[in-house]
């Protein structure tokens, strides 16, 4: 895969999540480390790093909240910024059209929440014929409770996402896989 055909999508890594009741910083330090490493290797290899922010009319994801901005730990990102109002980053945001205009056919997916916007974007990207690398360790999610009362840990949710995406919608990759593939 050519560097010029690839883009990294950093999905919803925004301050809004700090203001949600389910936010947990248990996995946050590891996520930060892996995401920074992934961004750095992409930037060092001239792979566009695309920021995607989620916007809603009210609450922590509303522009009026002032929390719809990239988290402070991120290195300076100079690539394009797209806003979305639905779970996938490609439809209705202008991102798909931008990727097509750039000749990008390969997406590297990371961000927050693993099983929601990251997984949904991956599925839509696959349907739109992109080759997708899903970098689970550079995604973050939080424990969830099923309506039947069962509690699922963030690790269990990530494992389930890998199960349903792997070789159907994406290649499941580690950050080191991407580093090895694109290291100069």
Q: Which pLDDT band holds residue 4 (cuts at 50, 70, 90)?
A: confident
Give the separation between CA 160 and CA 6, rounded to whole angstroms: 26
Q: Dump pLDDT digits (tens) for 46-64.
A: 999 999 999 999 999 999 9
Question: Using an 8 Å Cβ cutoff, are 51 and 77 in contact?
Answer: yes
Distance, CA of 98 to CA of 176 (rounded, Å): 27
pLDDT band at 26 (very low <50, low <70, confident <90, very high): very high
Q: Which residues pair with 108 in a beta bridge?
A: 8, 133
Per the confidence metrics, is the pTM higher than 0.95?
Answer: yes
- Average pLDDT (132-145) is 98
Residue 95 dihedral angles phi and psi, to the nearest 5°:
-65, -45
Strand-pair partners of 109: 9, 134
- CATH code for the structural domain at 3-182: 3.40.50.850
């Amino acid at each position: 895969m050519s560097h010029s055909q690839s883009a990294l999508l950093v999905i919803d890594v925004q301050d809004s999540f700090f203001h949600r009741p389910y936010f947990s910083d248990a996995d946050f330090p590891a996520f930060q480390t892996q995401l920074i490493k992934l961004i750095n290797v992409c930037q060092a290899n001239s792979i566009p790093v695309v920021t995607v922010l989620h916007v809603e009319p009210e609450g922590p994801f509303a522009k009026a909240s002032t929390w719809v901005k990239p988290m402070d730990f991120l290195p300076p990102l100079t690539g394009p910024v797209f806003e979305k109002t639905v779970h996938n980053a490609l439809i209705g945001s202008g991102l798909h059209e931008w990727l097509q205009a750039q000749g990008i056919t390969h997406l590297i997916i990371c961000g927050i929440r693993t099983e929601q916007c990251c997984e949904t974007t991956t599925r839509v990207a696959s349907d739109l014929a992109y080759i997708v690398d899903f970098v689970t360790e550079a995604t973050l999610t939080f424990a969830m409770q099923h309506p039947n009362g069962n509690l699922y840990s963030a690790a269990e949710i990530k494992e389930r996402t890998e199960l349903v995406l792997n070789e159907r919608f994406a290649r499941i990759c580690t950050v080191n896989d991407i580093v090895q593939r694109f290291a100069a």
